[in-house]
């Protein structure tokens, strides 16, 4: 197989919030893996800029621990030593003057420079201003920003304006890590790399689509953040929205940043409003030995949802009449993310009523066991007439591809895309705003109604009402299971 390492040029990555949770769990181990695979060129540097009183050696020790916790690397490996050598640390006050001269003094020419804002969005403006004041930005400098990108249209717009005041849109990389997942990109490969599906990919042949992102974990440790966010803002407005876009969009003319993002934007703008009776919010209840959502959030009155299910419509020619059912939640029966495309039954059964109702289903499993399953109808073997049976044509990527199925983590992929200057898998300003424009009235609606989320059992399928939401339409959710 041809080498899959696409080289990037030498870079300096400056991570604001470089000692935070995301840096420890994802960014630093991810960069190490790129280094270990030879994709991070010699001479590249990673400079953490954070509030913590730390020096370079302490940050190196912090990173070593983070890498050892996230990989199988041995403590004494030369690779790890080489990576650690590329690290530096500057103590910086995002709101003050401390550290900025020192940071500016470390900048150099002749390589790519990217600033990763892994901090609260409330600091974006201050960081951007100080970077400019200290002449650390040129037209080729990139900045990477994390979600949450605002909490509604107004705040997202304000953030976009703050960034736009100092950076060109082509310099801004808004991360939605779902877009960096290998199987999410595979969705585009399956749709636009095969002739088989596209002619059937519309309301004439598709009965409905289910998009599920279920998690087994609760919000433990992040309760107070989550209580201000909820499943709608934390997951649906961004991650599920991206999955919906990739599932529903028209074929872009090319796999290029703006052609792909233009098509996604059209999908978001075509989303119809969601009626109150087309959505269900839930909160997980306590178990004998685990806290419920309200206890985790330390807010006994909390009305924030840890689960949301809704039915929506993409109001355009391709999708008119085909509902999309979306659901996501914490403390559900399993960690499982998948897209299920449920095709219509054949227009007429030549086998008579005894053959029963049958239809094809394409299931794209995003995590944990990536793969594709196509449910096809065949004859039940043996004598006894023409009885029909649905069987899966099953392809697990791990089995089909062996070692080649081991894909880089989303963050590894996305950070390298930043260095390559490829924005295809990043959200554009108008896309984020359109997503909030659709989300805002839904949230305002339940706030005005003083809606209280329905309790659901931990490790279950979610609230009973969510089951009814789809059953009322004569359909069933696929069980959440691995």
Kindly list the residues in this chain that would bind ligand BG6 in the complex (CB under 6 A).
215, 234
Count of CB atoms situated within 10 Å of the CB of 53:
7
Classified as helix, coil or strand, 169 is helix
172 Cβ contact list (under 8 Å, min separation 6): 142, 143, 145, 163, 426, 429
- The CB-nearest residue to ligand BG6 is 234
Classified as helix, coil or strand, 481 is coil
Give yes or no for a contact between 89 and 47, defined as CB atoms under 8 angstroms apart: yes
Two structure tokens written together for 155: 């705040």
Question: 132, 208, 228, 239: which one is catalytic?
Answer: 239
Name the minimum Å distance from CB 367 to ligand BG6: 6
Strand order in 279-284's β-sheet?
Answer: 388-396, 371-379, 361-367, 336-343, 206-214, 324-329, 307-312, 279-284, 454-456
Residue matched to tokens 């509030």:
51
Residue matched to tokens 């990919």:
201
Nearer to ligand BG6, 201 or 411 (CB): 411
Name the DSSP letter for residue 447.
H
Element (H, E) at 113: strand 112-117
Known catalytic residue: 359? no
Element (H, E) at 248: helix 241-248
Name the minimum Å distance from CB 131 to ligand BG6: 25
Name the minimum Å distance from CB 412 to ligand BG6: 13
Polymer length in residues for the chain: 482
Count of CB atoms situated within 10 Å of the CB of 344:
15
Tell me the torsion sign for CA atoms 258, 422, 233, 313. positive
Nearer to ligand BG6, 308 or 342 (CB): 308
d(CA 80, CA 65): 11
Name the DSSP letter for residue 19.
T
Nearer to ligand BG6, 222 or 303 (CB): 222
Strand segments (E) across 429-478: 454-456
Name the minimum Å distance from CB 2 to ligand BG6: 28
Name the minimum Å distance from CB 234 to ligand BG6: 5
Query: Which residues are paired to 367 by β-bridges?
Result: 337
Name the minimum Å distance from CB 350 to ligand BG6: 44
Nearer to ligand BG6, 176 or 429 (CB): 176
Name the minimum Å distance from CB 151 to ligand BG6: 13
| Listed residue (77, 54, 76, 61) closest to 28, CA to CA | 61
Q: How far is CA 55 from the centre of its chain?
A: 33
Nearer to ligand BG6, 12 or 234 (CB): 234
Nearer to ligand BG6, 207 or 215 (CB): 215
Nearer to ligand BG6, 88 or 215 (CB): 215
215 Cβ contact list (under 8 Å, min separation 6): 328, 329, 330, 331, 332, 335
Nearer to ligand BG6, 51 or 147 (CB): 147
Q: For the chain, how far is it from start to end, CA to CA, in angstroms?
A: 31
Name the minimum Å distance from CB 418 to ligand BG6: 18
Query: Which residues are paired to 326 by β-bridges?
Result: 211, 310
The catalytic site residues sit at 239
């Amino acid at each position: 197989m041809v080498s899959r390492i696409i080289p990037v040029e030498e870079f300096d990555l400056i991570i604001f919030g470089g000692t935070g949770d995301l840096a420890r769990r994802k960014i630093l181990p991810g960069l190490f893996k790129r280094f270990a695979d030879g994709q991070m060129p010699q001479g590249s540097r990673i400079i953490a800029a954070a509030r913590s009183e730390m020096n370079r050696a302490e940050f190196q020790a912090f990173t070593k621990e983070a890498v050892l916790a996230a990989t199988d690397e041995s403590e004494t490996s030369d690779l790890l030593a080489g990576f650690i050598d590329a690290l530096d640390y500057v103590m910086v006050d995002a709101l003050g003057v401390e550290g900025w001269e020192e940071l500016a003094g470390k900048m150099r020419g002749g390589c790519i420079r990217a600033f990763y804002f892994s901090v609260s969005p409330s600091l974006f403006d201050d960081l951007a201003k100080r970077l400019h004041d200290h002449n650390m930005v040129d037209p080729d400098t990139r900045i990477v920003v994390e979600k949450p990108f605002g909490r509604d249209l107004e705040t997202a717009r304000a953030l976009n304006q703050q960034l736009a005041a100092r950076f060109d849109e082509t310099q801004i990389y808004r991360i939605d890590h779902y877009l960096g997942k290998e199987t999410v990109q595979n969705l585009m490969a399956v749709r636009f790399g095969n002739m088989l599906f596209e002619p059937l990919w519309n309301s004439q042949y598709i009965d409905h689509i289910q998009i599920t992102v279920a998690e087994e974990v609760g919000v433990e440790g992040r309760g107070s953040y989550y209580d201000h966010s909820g499943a709608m803002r934390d997951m649906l407005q961004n991650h599920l929205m991206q999955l919906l876009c990739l599932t529903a969009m028209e074929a872009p003319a090319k796999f290029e940043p703006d052609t792909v993002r233009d098509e996604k934007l059209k999908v978001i703008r075509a989303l119809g409003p969601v009626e109150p009776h087309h959505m269900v919010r839930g909160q997980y209840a306590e178990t004998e030995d685990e806290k419920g959502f309200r206890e985790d959030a330390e807010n006994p009155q909390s009305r924030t949802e840890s689960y949301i299910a809704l039915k929506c419509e993409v109001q355009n020619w391709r999708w008119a009449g085909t509902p999309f059912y979306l659901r996501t939640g914490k403390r559900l029966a399993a960690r499982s993310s998948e897209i299920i495309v449920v095709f219509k039954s054949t227009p007429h059964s030549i086998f008579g009523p005894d053959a029963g109702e049958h239809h094809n289903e394409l299931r794209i499993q995003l995590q944990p066991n990536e793969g594709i399953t196509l449910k096809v109808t065949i004859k039940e073997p043996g004598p006894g007439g023409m009885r029909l049976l649905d069987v899966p044509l099953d392809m697990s990527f791990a089995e089909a591809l062996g070692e080649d199925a081991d894909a880089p983590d989303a963050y590894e992929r996305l950070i390298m895309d930043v260095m390559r200057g490829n924005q295809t898998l990043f959200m554009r300003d108008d896309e984020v705003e359109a997503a909030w424009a659709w989300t805002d009235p839904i949230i305002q609606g339940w706030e005005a109604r003083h809606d209280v989320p329905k309790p659901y059992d931990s490790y279950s399928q979610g609230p009973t009402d969510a089951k009814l939401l789809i059953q009322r339409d004569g359909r069933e959710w696929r069980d959440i299971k691995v």
